[in-house]
């Protein structure tokens, strides 16, 4: 498979993930345009987890052809940030399936989406600049 095709798929997945995160966050506000639907958001979160996992796999396929190793700091940081995002979404998805959303839980879900979006911004920064925020 061509490296360009893998990179294209990786970038499309990343854009889709960020867009779906914003939609989920907006849905927690109960605006008329984004009517909150408990079951729909649960399915979207599952889709996000799958997309993030596929994004990690395509990212892993890009490491060696692009001349990097898995010990490169920004690549390790990207995998760690994505893993944290998947864990946060998984916990949120489990909680959402077990309990009916209340005002407090919607605020927690919204905060969780904001944290994951910040993690995605950090991940994007690291990928573009080729080093982490710590350097």
pLDDT at position 100: 66
pLDDT at position 35: 47
Domain boundaries, the chain: 29-129
Among 7, 45, 39, CA closest to 23: 45
pLDDT by position in tens, the chain (length 135):
688 999 999 999 999 998 888 888 877 776 554 445 677 788 888 999 999 999 999 999 999 888 888 888 888 888 988 999 999 888 888 887 776 667 677 778 888 888 888 888 888 888 888 877 665
pLDDT at position 13: 93
- Residue identified by tokens 């998805």 is 93
Residue 4 to residue 126: CA distance in whole angstroms:
20
Contact 59, 79 (CB under 8 A): yes
């Amino acid at each position: 498979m061509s490296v360009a095709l893998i990179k294209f798929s990786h970038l499309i997945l990343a854009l889709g993930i960020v867009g779906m995160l914003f939609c989920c966050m907006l849905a927690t506000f109960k605006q008329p345009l984004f009517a909150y639907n408990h079951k729909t958001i649960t399915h979207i979160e599952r889709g996000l987890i799958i997309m993030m996992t596929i994004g990690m796999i395509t990212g892993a396929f890009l490491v060696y052809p692009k001349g990097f190793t898995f010990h490169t700091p920004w690549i390790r940081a990207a995998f760690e940030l994505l893993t944290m995002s998947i864990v946060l979404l998984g916990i949120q998805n489990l909680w959402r399936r077990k309990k009916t959303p209340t005002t407090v839980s919607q605020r927690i879900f919204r905060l969780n989406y904001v944290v994951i979006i910040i993690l995605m911004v950090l991940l994007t920064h690291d990928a573009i600049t080729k080093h982490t925020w710590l350097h």
